Amino acid sequence: MARRKKIYEGKAKILYEGPEPGTIVQYFKDDATAFNAEKKDVIEGKGVLNNRLSEFFMTGLNTVGVPTHFLKRLNMREQLVRACEIVPLEVIVRNFAAGSLAKRLGLEEGTPLPRPIVEYCYKDDKLGDPLVTEEHIAAFGWASQQDMDDILSLSLRVNDYLSGLMYGVGIRLVDFKIEVGRVYDGDYQRLIVADEISPDSMRLWDIETGQKLDKDVFRRDLGSLTDAYTEVARRLGVMPKQATHVAKPKLIN
């Protein structure tokens, strides 16, 4: 059997050439990194959970008319996605102050924001993904004005969808990050949600207790990351109800 071609290996995922032109296989690794990869570990089962959770969020978004790259899950760790030209920005949407925003503006973590705030970081690991303004994005041609309008509306729709979904299972969506990519349909280009949507790229707090259920558990050494992600999956109905404290995630189809 021919070996498939590896396109890219990042910190959390490996990309392989897909079976059809214009498709990619995304393999979710168990590696966890934080603080621009200064902190690293292997968290057994994380890749399986993120593959399944990203499938769940992206399928939901596709269903409500927010276009994403997701095509289908292939197995426990892999999903087939539409290949796109990634816009070199991390798009961050914040509903409550946390992380770098709390630090930058001297706000207490958890302070509700007057409205969702959308921030852009330039995707460059060597520079530590610096915060940039639309002025930089336009001047350096990373995205056009039309792209920026589309990115803003996409990211706010993702925010509304995910906030509502999480609220329904007693979780506060504090903030999240997405990546968007360009795809071409004939002469037209459009933007779709790409990469992954998982507790690696969101802040999720239990509404009642404030317990963190996202990658901050790893960043701040707050306990078992797989327990936290399993709890999110369980509440969303992605995992069986009794699976709260299983060592290894057990998936249902």
Q: Pick the binder of ligand ATP from 195, 214, 216, 231 (CB under 6 A).
A: 195
* Two structure tokens written together for 82: 């539409």
Contacts 24+ apart (CB under 8 A), 109-114: 110/174, 110/205, 110/210
Residue 172 binds ligand ATP, judged by CB under 6 A:
no
Cβ 242 to ligand ATP shortest distance, Å: 31
42 Cβ neighbours under 8 A, 6+ residues apart: 30, 31, 32
Q: Pick the binder of ligand ATP from 48, 66, 83, 162 (CB under 6 A).
A: 83
* Furthest-apart CA atoms within the chain: distance in Å: 57
Residue number, 30 or 109, with CB nearest to ligand ATP:
30
Q: Pick the binder of ligand ATP from 25, 43, 48, 81 (CB under 6 A).
A: 81
Phi and psi at residue 105, in whole multiples of 5°? -105, 5
With contacts defined by CB under 6 A, name the span among 75-83, 137-145, 169-177, 218-226 that binds ligand ATP. Answer: 75-83
Q: Are 213 and 173 in contact (CB under 8 A)?
A: no
Q: β-pairing, 112-122 with 89-96? A: antiparallel
Q: Nearest to ligand ATP by Cβ — which residue?
A: 10
With contacts defined by CB under 6 A, name the span among 3-11, 48-56, 166-174, 230-238 that binds ligand ATP. Answer: 3-11
Q: Pick the binder of ligand ATP from 34, 86, 102, 118 (CB under 6 A).
A: 86
Dihedral sign, Cα of residue 216, residue 222, residue 224, residue 228: negative
Site for ligand ATP in 7-66 (CB under 6 A): 8, 10-13, 15, 24
Cβ 179 to ligand ATP shortest distance, Å: 5
Contacts 24+ apart (CB under 8 A), 28-34: 28/54, 28/77, 28/78, 28/79, 28/196, 32/200, 32/215, 32/218, 32/225, 34/215, 34/218, 34/219
Q: Any idea which residue has 């079976």 for tokens?
A: 19
Q: Pick the binder of ligand ATP from 84, 158, 191, 233 (CB under 6 A).
A: 84
Q: Pick the binder of ligand ATP from 20, 41, 44, 125 (CB under 6 A).
A: 125
Residue 181 binds ligand ATP, judged by CB under 6 A:
yes
How many residues touch ligand ATP under the rule CB under 6 A: the total is 19
Short-list 162, 161, 158, CA closest to 179:
158
Residues that bind ligand ATP (CB under 6 A): 8, 10-13, 15, 24, 69, 81-84, 86, 123, 125, 179, 181, 194-195
